[in-house]
Amino acid sequence: MLKIAICEDEQSQRELVKNYINRSLLNKNYEIFEFKSGEELIANYPQKLDILFLDIQMEEINGMDTARTIRTFDNNVEIIFITGIWDYVQEGYEVRAYRYIIKPIGFDNFDSQLNLCIREIENKKRPSVVVTYKGEVNKIELGSIVYIETDNRNTIIHTDQRSYKSNMGINKIEKHLEGSTFFRCHNSFIINLEHINKIGQDSVFLGKYEVQVSRHKMKDLKIQFTSLLGDKL
Protein backbone atom coordinates (compact mmCIF):
# COMPACT_ATOMS: atom_id res chain seq x y z
CA MET A 1 0.00 0.00 0.00
CA LEU A 2 1.22 3.47 -0.91
CA LYS A 3 1.49 5.92 1.96
CA ILE A 4 0.97 9.54 0.93
CA ALA A 5 1.05 12.59 3.22
CA ILE A 6 -0.19 16.13 2.64
CA CYS A 7 1.29 18.93 4.75
CA GLU A 8 -0.48 22.20 3.99
CA ASP A 9 -1.70 24.92 6.37
CA GLU A 10 -4.66 25.95 4.20
CA GLN A 11 -7.57 23.52 4.52
CA SER A 12 -8.90 24.32 1.05
CA GLN A 13 -5.53 23.40 -0.49
CA ARG A 14 -5.33 20.18 1.57
CA GLU A 15 -8.77 19.22 0.33
CA LEU A 16 -7.82 20.04 -3.25
CA VAL A 17 -4.66 17.90 -3.13
CA LYS A 18 -6.56 15.03 -1.47
CA ASN A 19 -9.26 15.24 -4.12
CA TYR A 20 -6.64 15.16 -6.90
CA ILE A 21 -4.94 12.14 -5.33
CA ASN A 22 -8.26 10.28 -5.17
CA ARG A 23 -9.03 11.15 -8.80
CA SER A 24 -5.56 10.14 -9.96
CA LEU A 25 -5.28 6.84 -8.09
CA LEU A 26 -8.66 5.24 -8.69
CA ASN A 27 -7.19 1.73 -9.11
CA LYS A 28 -4.41 1.99 -6.53
CA ASN A 29 -4.25 0.84 -2.93
CA TYR A 30 -3.16 3.84 -0.86
CA GLU A 31 -3.56 5.71 2.41
CA ILE A 32 -3.56 9.50 2.87
CA PHE A 33 -2.28 11.31 5.96
CA GLU A 34 -3.10 15.01 6.47
CA PHE A 35 -1.11 17.57 8.47
CA LYS A 36 -1.72 21.30 8.85
CA SER A 37 1.82 22.27 9.90
CA GLY A 38 5.41 21.13 9.69
CA GLU A 39 5.47 20.70 13.48
CA GLU A 40 2.46 18.36 13.39
CA LEU A 41 4.00 16.34 10.55
CA ILE A 42 7.34 15.88 12.31
CA ALA A 43 5.67 14.96 15.61
CA ASN A 44 3.39 12.38 13.99
CA TYR A 45 5.49 11.22 11.05
CA PRO A 46 4.04 8.08 9.40
CA GLN A 47 6.28 5.03 9.15
CA LYS A 48 7.52 4.06 5.69
CA LEU A 49 6.02 7.10 4.00
CA ASP A 50 6.29 6.97 0.20
CA ILE A 51 5.26 10.44 -1.00
CA LEU A 52 4.98 13.78 0.80
CA PHE A 53 3.17 16.78 -0.71
CA LEU A 54 4.69 19.66 1.23
CA ASP A 55 3.65 23.30 1.10
CA ILE A 56 6.66 25.60 1.34
CA GLN A 57 5.00 28.81 2.58
CA MET A 58 3.69 27.77 5.99
CA GLU A 59 3.78 29.73 9.24
CA GLU A 60 6.35 28.97 11.95
CA ILE A 61 8.37 26.12 10.36
CA ASN A 62 8.20 26.53 6.59
CA GLY A 63 8.18 23.60 4.19
CA MET A 64 11.88 23.81 3.33
CA ASP A 65 12.97 23.67 6.98
CA THR A 66 10.48 20.86 7.56
CA ALA A 67 12.06 18.93 4.68
CA ARG A 68 15.54 19.46 6.12
CA THR A 69 14.42 17.98 9.42
CA ILE A 70 12.75 15.04 7.67
CA ARG A 71 15.93 14.24 5.78
CA THR A 72 17.73 13.70 9.10
CA PHE A 73 15.62 10.57 9.68
CA ASP A 74 14.05 9.64 6.32
CA ASN A 75 16.16 9.53 3.17
CA ASN A 76 13.62 7.60 1.11
CA VAL A 77 10.39 9.59 1.02
CA GLU A 78 9.76 11.42 -2.26
CA ILE A 79 9.08 15.08 -1.47
CA ILE A 80 6.90 17.05 -3.88
CA PHE A 81 6.86 20.73 -2.95
CA ILE A 82 3.73 22.80 -3.48
CA THR A 83 4.40 26.52 -3.73
CA GLY A 84 3.19 29.76 -5.23
CA ILE A 85 6.71 31.02 -6.02
CA TRP A 86 9.94 29.69 -7.53
CA ASP A 87 12.25 31.27 -4.93
CA TYR A 88 13.07 28.01 -3.16
CA VAL A 89 13.94 25.88 -6.18
CA GLN A 90 17.70 26.01 -5.59
CA GLU A 91 17.27 24.98 -1.95
CA GLY A 92 15.24 21.99 -3.07
CA TYR A 93 18.41 20.28 -4.24
CA GLU A 94 19.62 20.17 -0.62
CA VAL A 95 16.68 18.01 0.42
CA ARG A 96 16.50 16.03 -2.84
CA ALA A 97 13.02 17.24 -3.76
CA TYR A 98 11.37 15.08 -6.41
CA ARG A 99 9.32 17.85 -8.05
CA TYR A 100 7.78 21.29 -7.59
CA ILE A 101 4.12 21.91 -8.31
CA ILE A 102 3.29 25.60 -8.69
CA LYS A 103 -0.01 27.03 -7.45
CA PRO A 104 -2.68 27.30 -8.71
CA ILE A 105 -2.57 23.50 -9.01
CA GLY A 106 -4.01 22.04 -12.20
CA PHE A 107 -5.16 18.42 -12.22
CA ASP A 108 -3.42 17.33 -15.43
CA ASN A 109 0.03 18.40 -14.23
CA PHE A 110 -0.63 16.99 -10.74
CA ASP A 111 -1.79 13.65 -12.16
CA SER A 112 1.27 13.41 -14.42
CA GLN A 113 3.78 14.21 -11.66
CA LEU A 114 2.16 11.88 -9.13
CA ASN A 115 2.06 8.89 -11.47
CA LEU A 116 5.65 9.46 -12.63
CA CYS A 117 6.69 9.50 -8.99
CA ILE A 118 4.80 6.28 -8.25
CA ARG A 119 6.40 4.51 -11.20
CA GLU A 120 9.86 5.45 -9.91
CA ILE A 121 8.96 4.20 -6.43
CA GLU A 122 7.69 0.90 -7.83
CA ASN A 123 10.85 0.47 -9.89
CA LYS A 124 13.01 1.04 -6.81
CA LYS A 125 11.05 -1.55 -4.85
CA ARG A 126 11.47 -4.28 -7.44
CA PRO A 127 14.08 -6.80 -6.21
CA SER A 128 17.24 -6.66 -8.30
CA VAL A 129 20.86 -7.76 -8.43
CA VAL A 130 23.86 -5.74 -9.62
CA VAL A 131 26.39 -7.67 -11.72
CA THR A 132 29.75 -6.63 -13.14
CA TYR A 133 31.88 -7.99 -15.96
CA LYS A 134 34.98 -6.40 -17.49
CA GLY A 135 34.11 -2.95 -16.15
CA GLU A 136 30.46 -3.10 -17.25
CA VAL A 137 27.88 -2.78 -14.47
CA ASN A 138 24.26 -3.87 -14.92
CA LYS A 139 21.27 -3.80 -12.58
CA ILE A 140 18.97 -6.73 -13.36
CA GLU A 141 15.45 -7.17 -11.98
CA LEU A 142 15.13 -10.62 -10.41
CA GLY A 143 11.75 -11.21 -12.02
CA SER A 144 13.28 -10.88 -15.49
CA ILE A 145 15.90 -13.59 -14.88
CA VAL A 146 14.98 -16.91 -16.52
CA TYR A 147 18.01 -18.95 -15.53
CA ILE A 148 21.69 -18.67 -14.64
CA GLU A 149 24.50 -20.94 -15.81
CA THR A 150 28.19 -21.34 -15.04
CA ASP A 151 30.76 -20.15 -17.56
CA ASN A 152 34.11 -21.40 -16.26
CA ARG A 153 34.65 -19.20 -13.17
CA ASN A 154 32.03 -16.70 -14.28
CA THR A 155 28.30 -16.95 -14.86
CA ILE A 156 25.85 -16.07 -17.62
CA ILE A 157 22.52 -14.61 -16.52
CA HIS A 158 19.76 -15.18 -19.07
CA THR A 159 16.79 -12.79 -18.84
CA ASP A 160 13.63 -12.56 -20.92
CA GLN A 161 15.33 -9.86 -23.02
CA ARG A 162 19.06 -10.63 -23.21
CA SER A 163 21.97 -12.37 -21.48
CA TYR A 164 24.62 -10.85 -19.17
CA LYS A 165 28.00 -12.12 -18.08
CA SER A 166 29.02 -11.75 -14.44
CA ASN A 167 32.29 -12.07 -12.55
CA MET A 168 30.36 -13.56 -9.63
CA GLY A 169 30.46 -17.34 -9.25
CA ILE A 170 27.25 -19.36 -9.22
CA ASN A 171 27.56 -20.30 -5.54
CA LYS A 172 27.77 -16.64 -4.52
CA ILE A 173 24.83 -15.73 -6.74
CA GLU A 174 22.81 -18.55 -5.19
CA LYS A 175 23.35 -17.02 -1.73
CA HIS A 176 22.12 -13.64 -3.00
CA LEU A 177 18.94 -15.31 -4.27
CA GLU A 178 18.02 -17.16 -1.06
CA GLY A 179 14.38 -16.72 -0.09
CA SER A 180 13.28 -15.94 -3.66
CA THR A 181 11.72 -18.07 -6.41
CA PHE A 182 15.06 -19.42 -7.66
CA PHE A 183 16.11 -23.08 -7.45
CA ARG A 184 19.51 -24.71 -7.93
CA CYS A 185 18.50 -27.56 -10.22
CA HIS A 186 22.04 -28.61 -11.17
CA ASN A 187 25.61 -27.79 -10.20
CA SER A 188 25.75 -25.61 -13.31
CA PHE A 189 22.26 -24.08 -13.32
CA ILE A 190 19.91 -21.95 -11.23
CA ILE A 191 16.38 -21.53 -12.59
CA ASN A 192 13.57 -19.09 -11.83
CA LEU A 193 10.48 -21.13 -10.92
CA GLU A 194 8.26 -18.27 -12.12
CA HIS A 195 9.36 -18.92 -15.72
CA ILE A 196 8.72 -22.69 -15.83
CA ASN A 197 6.35 -23.84 -18.58
CA LYS A 198 6.92 -27.58 -18.21
CA ILE A 199 8.96 -30.09 -16.21
CA GLY A 200 10.23 -32.99 -18.30
CA GLN A 201 11.85 -36.28 -17.34
CA ASP A 202 15.34 -34.85 -16.80
CA SER A 203 14.99 -31.20 -17.79
CA VAL A 204 12.83 -28.15 -17.33
CA PHE A 205 11.41 -25.84 -20.00
CA LEU A 206 11.49 -22.09 -19.44
CA GLY A 207 10.12 -20.30 -22.47
CA LYS A 208 12.58 -20.89 -25.32
CA TYR A 209 15.14 -22.49 -22.99
CA GLU A 210 15.56 -26.10 -21.88
CA VAL A 211 17.73 -26.62 -18.80
CA GLN A 212 19.06 -29.91 -17.45
CA VAL A 213 17.94 -31.02 -13.97
CA SER A 214 20.07 -33.31 -11.80
CA ARG A 215 18.33 -36.60 -10.99
CA HIS A 216 18.63 -36.04 -7.23
CA LYS A 217 17.17 -32.51 -7.58
CA MET A 218 14.04 -33.44 -9.55
CA LYS A 219 11.86 -34.36 -6.55
CA ASP A 220 12.63 -31.11 -4.70
CA LEU A 221 12.04 -29.13 -7.88
CA LYS A 222 8.56 -30.60 -8.33
CA ILE A 223 7.71 -29.97 -4.66
CA GLN A 224 8.82 -26.33 -4.79
CA PHE A 225 7.17 -25.67 -8.14
CA THR A 226 3.89 -27.24 -6.98
CA SER A 227 4.05 -25.16 -3.79
CA LEU A 228 4.56 -21.98 -5.84
CA LEU A 229 1.56 -22.84 -8.03
CA GLY A 230 -0.51 -23.55 -4.94
CA ASP A 231 0.25 -20.11 -3.53
CA LYS A 232 -1.05 -18.53 -6.73
CA LEU A 233 -4.23 -20.58 -7.18
The answer to whether 97 and 52 are in contact (CB under 8 A) is: no
Instruction: Domain 2-125: give its CATH architecture.
Output: 3-Layer(aba) Sandwich (3.40)
- The residues pairing with 204 across neighbouring beta strands, listed in sequence order, are 199, 211
| Alpha-carbon span 104 to 13, nearest angstrom | 10
Q: What is the pLDDT of residue 25?
A: 96
Alpha helices in the chain (DSSP H): 11-24, 38-43, 63-70, 89-92, 107-125, 170-176, 218-232
Q: What is the pLDDT of residue 86?
A: 67
Q: What is the pLDDT of residue 201?
A: 94
* Other C-beta atoms lying within 10 Å of the C-beta of residue 207: 12
Report how far Cα 51 is from the mean position of its chain's Cα atoms. 13
Looking at domain 128-232, does it have CATH number 2.40.50.1020?
yes
Spans in the chain with pLDDT lower than 70 = 86-93, 230-233
* CATH 2.40.50.1020 residue spans of the chain: 128-232
* CATH 3.40.50.2300 residue spans of the chain: 2-125
pTM of the model: 0.62
Q: What is the pLDDT of residue 91?
A: 65
| Alpha-carbon span 192 to 44, nearest angstrom | 42
- DSSP letter at 53? E
| Alpha-carbon span 203 to 201, nearest angstrom | 6
| Alpha-carbon span 186 to 220, nearest angstrom | 12
Q: What is the pLDDT of residue 87?
A: 66
User: Mind listing the pLDDT tens digit for each residue in 115-125?
Assistant: 999 998 987 77
Find all residues with CB under 8 Å of 155, minimum gap 6, and list them: 148, 149, 165, 166, 168, 169, 170, 173
